[in-house]
Copies of this chain bind each other. A is one copy, B any other.
Amino acid sequence: MTPPADRTGAGPGRPPGARRADQARRVADVLRQHALSGGYRDGRLPDEATLIRDFGASRNAVRAALALLAAEGLVERRRGVGTVVVGRRHSHPLDRLTGLAETLGDAGEVRNEVRVAEVIAAPAAIAARLGDPVLHLERLRHLAGRPLSLDSSYLAADVGRQLLARDLAGRDVFGLIEEITGQPLGAAEVTVAPAVADADTAALLAVPAGAPLFAIERFSRLADGRPVDLEYLRVRGDRTTLSATLHR
């Protein structure tokens, strides 16, 4: 075993405040998870003195941790009340292929602002997967009256053309595809990356520029194996998590 060079996290050459930043991050990690999992039953975090004692952290580190959580929109500090949990994140399970309304419909109404719905000549990288032309569909999706995700989808033309006559403002595309084709979807290859909101995307999703987003690519096939839907999704990170139970 190589003994750790430094057990305090201070480290050589790190800037002043690094130790406090380390402590703040660690405290914020634990508080965030506990808050999001409903661990604070009355919706209030313990007071500063309790947190300082509980974590063995400095007052400045605890304050910095609470500031991190406030910047994420998870908590608000209210005079005379304390630190209150105000944010909530909807958990989107990663164990099955589902659309937004199927997954989060219990959390509120899903409404879609259709920004683009037109048959276009497929760019080469799209044509290689879905043929040419394709339907390009872009929807800004709202959950419970607030923007949640910006979905840009390319669909095989025969299915896409029939989608144009359907309720794109109110329905998941997955269900519509299944109705149109008369067969269930099969499987999708999903790739998830973190991203930050550029100014334009931020304005559409009603978050600050630089806010954390999921960037999700999803390539779905029908049950018979035919490629049908290639999607690029940007989902607000302050409103959503992805969850899975993984087995060894």
A interface residues (Cβ-Cβ under 8 A, vs B): 1-2, 4-9, 11, 14-15, 17-18, 21-22, 25-27, 29-31, 33-34, 39, 46, 54-56, 68, 89, 91, 94-97, 113-118, 120-121, 123-126, 128, 136, 138, 152, 165-170, 174, 184-196, 198-201, 203, 210-214, 217, 223, 232, 237, 240-248
**Contact present for B194 and A194 (CB under 8 Å):** yes
**Contact present for A214 and B194 (CB under 8 Å):** yes
**Which chain B residue lies CB-closest to A40?**
B125
- Of A21, A136, A246, the most chain B CB neighbours within 10 A belong to A246
| Complex copy number for this chain | 2
**Contact present for A186 and B29 (CB under 8 Å):** no
Given contacts A117-B4, A203-B14, contact A248 B195 (CB under 8 A): no
Q: How far is the CA of A123 from the CA of B57 in the complex (A)?
A: 10
Given contacts A6-B115, A29-B232, contact A248 B21 (CB under 8 A): no
Q: How far is the CA of A39 from the CA of B55 in the complex (A)?
A: 49
Name the distance in Å between A138's Cβ and chain B's nearest Cβ: 7
Name the distance in Å between A39's Cβ and chain B's nearest Cβ: 6
**Contact present for B96 and A241 (CB under 8 Å):** no
Q: How far is the CA of A11 from the CA of B55 in the complex (A)?
A: 49
14 A-B pairs whose Cβ atoms sit less than 8 Å apart in the complex:
A1-B168, A4-B169, A14-B203, A25-B198, A33-B191, A33-B232, A55-B123, A96-B246, A97-B246, A97-B247, A97-B248, A187-B246, A188-B245, A194-B195
**Contact present for B244 and A94 (CB under 8 Å):** yes
User: Which residue from B8, B9, B116 sits with its C-beta under 8 Å from A7?
Assistant: B116
**Contact present for B167 and A1 (CB under 8 Å):** yes
Chain B residues near A2: list those with CB within 8 A.
114, 167-170
**Which chain B residue lies CB-closest to A120?**
B56
Given contacts A54-B124, A123-B54, contact A242 B168 (CB under 8 A): no
Chain B residues near A55: list those with CB within 8 A.
123
Given contacts A186-B247, A192-B242, A200-B18, contact A118 B7 (CB under 8 A): yes
**Which chain B residue lies CB-closest to A68?**
B198
**Contact present for B116 and A8 (CB under 8 Å):** yes
Given contacts A14-B203, A21-B198, A21-B200, contact A4 B114 (CB under 8 A): yes
Chain B residues near A56: list those with CB within 8 A.
120-121
Q: How far is the CA of A19 from the CA of B56 in the complex (A)?
A: 52
**Contact present for B9 and A39 (CB under 8 Å):** no
